[in-house]
Chain A
Amino acid sequence: MAAHLDALVRITRVVAGDDAAANDAAQEAFIRLWRNPAAFAGGNLLAWLVTVARHVALNEHRGQKRRTGRHDTARLRPPSNPEIKVESSDQLTQVRAFMGTLPEQERTALTLFAVQGLAQSEIATVLGTSEGAVKQAILSARTKLRARFEV
């Protein structure tokens, strides 16, 4: 559980863009698995946990949006000036911050693909979309990342 919990929190943090929301969503995913183990039909357990945690996080985000009546523009929109010069010591922190500026589907797809090594089909299942859309999301995220950090 410990290994999956750390990975799940990291991925969910990318999805939710918020540390507390990521912890809550990861916790909820584990509790659901505990209460209803039969819901996990087999396959990649982390992908299943991510799917649940992502839904929890997005639902929480939508609920918060309904309650506040406004968007969290800082989190959902790309930064106004993407040409900020990145210092190497802070580069990893800035990459994480930049990931938070990508569209949710793109950042989740890239995270699952690049960090967790999930196949595009598994990512498509997590995101509830097609493999083509996943491929396109990953390509778009990579392109933006390359443009931003000149890699």
Chain B
Amino acid sequence: MQRPTGEVFKQADQLVRRALEGAPGAHAGLRAKLSHQFSAEFALQRRARNLRIQAAAGCAVAAAVLLLVFLNLDWFRATVNEGSPPIVSANDNPAAPVAPRPGSLPQNTVKPDGAENTPAQNDQPGPAQPQQLVQEPKPAPEQKPPTPEPAKEPQPAPGPGVEQPKTPQEAAPTPPKGTESTPTPAKAVVARLDANAGKVRIRYGTDDWADLAANTDILAGANLSVSRGTAEVWLSGGSLLRFDGDIVLNTQDKHLLVQLESKSVYADNLGTSEALAFSVGELVAALPNGVAIARRDQAALELTCLLGDCTLGEEAVAPGFERRLTARGLGNAKKASPNRLTRDLPARVVYREDFDRTPPGGLYGDGEEMKDGLLSRTGAGNYAAFRYDPTVTVLAGMVLRFRARTRAITQLQLEVFLDKPNDQRCFSQRLKPAKEGEWQVFEIRLADFADKLNPALKMTPGQLLRNFKLHLEGTAAASVEIDWVEYVRIQED
């Protein structure tokens, strides 16, 4: 067979070329179809591009609006901060009261008639009263014409059993230490470390830990840690916290939230208007008005209710019982077991009047005098009296204390009336001053007050008290000066 040459193949190629080039090309319908499809695709692409442009424009506008809002907020905050008064704390308040000394009865205490009086010694009011930390600033004491000497008698050097009235400046707490580097001036003061607290560290956010000095203001967002023993913190509403681990204090809508980072916290807000809440992760317990211990056990939250209203999760915990809440649910109630956090608790001031200004409820002794932080009254048969505002709720373990100096007094009769609608019901107690002309602290357990008409009836927790009325018995020269009056809840184990 003859081998094909390139010329032969060229003929074959030409044949194929002629055959295929003579073949019809694309259908007219295909051209129209492609043209239509390209138009549709083009319209689709243009629409998608327009949508992208619109979306980008929308995002840009939204970002611009957010930026403007952010800038305006900063400007607004700056304006408000410039025009708003500084944070009020006991540091700024010359009338800052002093709280009782933690523990049991103070020395130099006069007990009710019939009870043995303790020897008079220095009376040291305890930790600073935190109740006024976030309240409106008190007006300064009334301006008095300059006098050569204070109205109070010149005080001799304090000997044993004689205490000098403290000036507000003496009781003023030290400025915050250890938090200077934290720029949180806009946060409210939520608490203050007790004067007798042990070593406590503090930090805000991820700042470094710093030692926290006693009587230091603590701001919202503070993380407190006590490595050994326990520490007490007085909240701005007068509540007491004692903790032995790590906690974070935060203010929320209507309560103060105590986040438990480790161990446990004892809380007492009985009779205050300061609602508390505890949290472990998403688990929450509420203490609107009561005494409770919240514990963290890994991811679980345990609550022991000691007094008042306690809620764990969605259910109440009865006083004297404890329950455990986990992500899986709420455990059954068990009888509360003893806890070391309740030992030797400091006394908590529930109400205090210093007479640096007219009591909010007013004086009604008809002739009494208030001067230089003292309420004075002379003449047997007369009385010094003032009303509480707000009323004082009788709590378990509460005592009434007042510091007074008497002359020519044979006996004092203290009367306390209930609030409406039982405002004619009176409880009374008779007191005998231990020393003539010396400052003494009188202390009466509310449970010892007897109904004036029916001495068998005693005060009971939950009753509302509206006044303080001290009758003088003695000679015409009988006089009494009252430095302060306070209701204190002595914590019970």
Residues of A within 8 A of B (CB): 1-2, 5-11, 13-14, 23, 26-27, 30-31, 34-35, 91-93, 95-96, 99, 110-111, 113-115, 142-143, 145-146, 149, 151
Give every chain A residue within 8 A of B64 (Cβ-Cβ): none
The listed residue with most A CB atoms (<10 A of its CB), out of B22, B25, B41, is B25
A96 touching B19 by the CB < 8 A rule?
Answer: yes
Q: Report Cα–Cα, A30/B38, bound state, in Å.
A: 9
B457 at the interface (CB under 8 A from A): no
Give every chain A residue within 8 A of B13 (Cβ-Cβ): 110, 113-114, 142
As a 0/1 sequence over residues 23 to 34 of chain B, the CB contacts with chain A under 8 angstroms (1 = contact) are: 101110011011
User: Which residue of A13, A31, A149 contacts B23 across the interface (Cβ within 8 Å)?
Assistant: A13
Q: Report Cα–Cα, A95/B23, bound state, in Å.
A: 11
Q: Please give me the 3 A-B residue pairs with the lowest Cβ-Cβ distance, nearest first.
A: A6-B25, A95-B19, A114-B13
A5 touching B41 by the CB < 8 A rule?
Answer: no
B160 at the interface (CB under 8 A from A): no
Give every chain A residue within 8 A of B26 (Cβ-Cβ): 5-6, 8-9, 23, 26
A142 touching B9 by the CB < 8 A rule?
Answer: yes
A142 touching B12 by the CB < 8 A rule?
Answer: yes
Measured CB to CB, the nearest residue on chain B to A144 is: B12
B65 at the interface (CB under 8 A from A): no
Min CB–CB distance A94 → chain B (angstroms): 8
Can you list 30 contacts pairing A with B, beta carbon distance less than 8 Å? Answer: A1-B34, A5-B26, A6-B26, A7-B25, A9-B25, A9-B26, A10-B20, A10-B25, A13-B23, A27-B30, A30-B34, A31-B34, A31-B37, A31-B41, A34-B41, A92-B19, A92-B22, A95-B15, A95-B18, A95-B19, A110-B13, A115-B17, A142-B4, A142-B12, A145-B12, A145-B15, A146-B4, A146-B11, A151-B12, A151-B15
Is the interface on chain B under 10, 10 to 19, 20 to 34, or 35 or more residues?
A: 20 to 34
As a 0/1 sequence over residues 185 to 204 of chain B, the CB contacts with chain A under 8 angstroms (1 = contact) are: 00000000000000000000
B55 at the interface (CB under 8 A from A): no
Given A111-B16, A115-B17, also A146-B30 (CB < 8 A): no
User: Which residue of A2, A8, A99 contacts B19 across the interface (Cβ within 8 Å)?
Assistant: A99
B149 at the interface (CB under 8 A from A): no
Give every chain A residue within 8 A of B11 (Cβ-Cβ): 146, 151
Measured CB to CB, the nearest residue on chain A to B11 is: A151
B18 touching A92 by the CB < 8 A rule?
Answer: yes
B21 at the interface (CB under 8 A from A): yes
The listed residue with most B CB atoms (<10 A of its CB), out of A1, A10, A151, is A151
B327 at the interface (CB under 8 A from A): no
Measured CB to CB, the nearest residue on chain A to B23 is: A10
Give every chain A residue within 8 A of B157 (Cβ-Cβ): none
A23 touching B12 by the CB < 8 A rule?
Answer: no
B31 touching A5 by the CB < 8 A rule?
Answer: yes
A26 touching B16 by the CB < 8 A rule?
Answer: no
B8 at the interface (CB under 8 A from A): yes
A27 touching B34 by the CB < 8 A rule?
Answer: yes
